[in-house]
Structure 1
Amino acid sequence: MKIDSREIAALAQAQPSAPRMDMYAGIHKALRAFMADTLLGLGRMDVDDDLEFAQTCDRVMQMLDFCRSHLRHENQFVHAAMEARQPGSSQRVDSEHVEHEQAIAALAAGVSHLLSCARPSRPAATQALYRQLALFIAHNFEHMHEEETAHNQVLWDRYSDEELVRIHDELVASIPPQEMLTTARWLVPFMSPAERTAMLSDMQQHAPKPVLAAVLAHVQPHLTQQEWTKLVRSLGLPPVPGLVH
């Protein structure tokens, strides 16, 4: 996909005149952050430091697991909703999801190969995995753009915001607690302050208090002091997550 000034202008004009429920916005910020940070970490990894080497390889595998789960959630909830009211509307991206599953398996095999390499072979194998991961991420960024534009248009044309909220809530309810913490780790720090407040205010109103406390404790190390102060102030909470009762 070639981005030029006309395409950028078209993107701006394509935004709805009034804000709509966007199921992709938050999770795609999380995915972009997790992918970019993992790629950067792999690029600067010290292959001669065994602990750093093992931790970085594990980090790549965690990111791949997260991507795999994300594909399942979209297939089960978002694509199913699209197909229910506009058959065929998710078909092209469905085929890309199959390709992504294959790419994830290939990358996981690349990590396993890297872990089994003799120390002198690590630099070359790391570089090969780095380039493979970079291409995977590049394709995913284009893929997410397609979902945020074409797929959202189908959803907005066929569903009310109230219906989209229900679909989103069903998706979120299906996510296991540990995966939800991983999502929060990559979602909350990379949201705008207003988005953080909206998401966590909803959690404050509807989730058990220990759940909110766990999420806040999990994300605090990844926020600046200024971001953290703004967040807890917006939630009406003291600045220490342990004081959330």
Structure 2
Amino acid sequence: MKSKYIRLTNQQWQFMKKHLPIKTKGHYNLRDLADAILWILRIGSQWRNLPETFPKWQSVYYHFRKWGKDGTLIRLNSALNKLERLNQGKAETPSLLSIDSQSIKCSSFISKDKGIDGNKKINGRKRHIITDTLGLVWGVMVSPANYTDGSIGQAVLEPLLGYLDRLEKILGDQAYKIGFLDWVQENIIGLEVEISSCPPSEKGFVPLKWRWVTERTFGIFNFFRRFDKDYEKTPQSQEYWVLWQNCQIILNRFK
């Protein structure tokens, strides 16, 4: 992990611009807009404190929201995931996924779409993610923290079924046994859900085969200050940041 944010290299940008719209609102350079988004992700700054070396914050925020809503960000994330898997000697799309959630506190001014996770004693939201065996994020949804994992699992997985044609198995913990497991068995032919958890006698973090990579992905979030809390007024913005984080991790591996 790089110790500070470094602006996009030519090689990184050559790949990104293939998946971003050519036209932008205003006269700003597309590369500068993408750079500004990644800067905020890493530094955790408020939008209004964006340095003057970048385009105006209103324009950067507009494109952040637009690319999230119109599917541009999802397409960029998917393309980077496929490229990274090929570079690691794997098929473009995974056959095995792992699903898990992370409860996080919300900033003090956030009042909507939040709840209390009674198990972890956290008042905020949950990040639900699906990763492959490399820890790459393929799907994400953010919900109030009081929502159960099993009830949200369907919404996280369903959008992926159209293009992950190799998918055979999903790993999850006991929280996905109620709701999610039954839904998969009733609606998706040939897809297996494997439920596993730490032995009751074990204490602390116990790595479980392949599921530990999802925990590692949550751990990597700590290197991005935008993730120390949920500062977003809408859950959708937090979802966009999770995908941008995954894109940034892969882009940093470009040589």
Larger Rg: 1
Higher helix share: 1
Q: TM-score range by the shorter chain?
A: 0.3 to 0.5
Instruction: Tell me the TM-score normalised to structure 1 length.
Output: 0.32
**Structure whose residues are more often strand by fraction:** 2
